Amino acid sequence: MTQLRTNLLQPTISYTQEWQDRLKQDPIVAVKGIVFSDKTGTLYIDESDDKSTITQLAEKLVSANVTSEQDWVKLTKRWYRFRYVNGASAQGEFILLQDIDKSGELRSGILASPGVVVNTQLIGSIMPLVDSIIPAFAVSTTAVPQVFTNQNITVHILSGNCWFNTSATATTVNGFKLLPGMPLDLRVNGTLSLISDTTGASVQIVVWED
């Protein structure tokens, strides 16, 4: 998944991605988008064969402080782009992510192994074994360190705001923010420290066998 934008938008201002050539190298079959903004807005996905005659494929209304997901959209033309139009208020937080599918079939959204999403028919042959599951635990304004020995993990934020870094005393200032509904796959050798703000967070971690 690629991060397209985190710079904040002023009222009614839009972000337009440069046209992407889906036929370059391995053809891209479909795209999807995930947005988080503290203000309302609208996500659009366009496509074109000449960058002049444009077809709008998708329109997703984004509510304030709610993670919004535009599901897979099948592409039929050469060029595609993402557009986002902010609402009437200036943003204080904004994250726009894009994912692509080159499989030839729209993805089912099932995690097969860290960093890999596959069709359900393939799960039986490539699904790795789960080493352990760390039950859901609460994270507050006090850092919660988790120690791993060169292990692949998937971090799920079940609710709330959560940040992480590799020090024993994570802070929201220098940490990487995780959002509910967006699992993050990592390989960790050492300490992964998690922290939340006053809203608190609930976190669950899956540890995979190599």
Residue 35 has pLDDT above 70, yes or no: yes
Least confident range from 20-24, 33-37, 141-145: namely 141-145
> What is the structure's pLDDT at 110?
35
Between 21-30, 51-60, 105-114, 136-145, the lowest mean confidence (pLDDT) is in: 105-114
pLDDT tens readout for residues 168-189 = 665 666 678 887 777 888 888 8
**Residues 6 or more apart whose Cβ sits within 8 Å of residue 135:** 204
Q: Minimum mean pLDDT among 80-84, 128-132, 199-203: which range?
A: 128-132
Residue 202 and residue 117: Cα distance in Å, rounded? 24
For position 173, what pLDDT does the model report?
Answer: 61
In the chain, what are the domain boundaries?
A: 2-107, 130-208
* Gyration radius from the chain CA atoms: 19
Report strand pairing: 201-208 vs 130-139: antiparallel
With a cut of 90, say whether residue 10 has pLDDT above it: yes
Can you tell me the mean pLDDT for 111-119? 38
Cα 38–40–46 angle (5° rounding)? 115
pTM metric for this prediction: 0.52
What percent of the chain is modeled with pLDDT above 70?
A: 83
**pLDDT computed for residue 168 by the predictor:** 62
DSSP states along 157-170? EEEE-EEEESSSS-
Looking at domain 2-107, its CATH superfamily turns out to be Mitogen Ypm (2.60.120.510)
Fold of 130-208: Jelly Rolls (2.60.120)
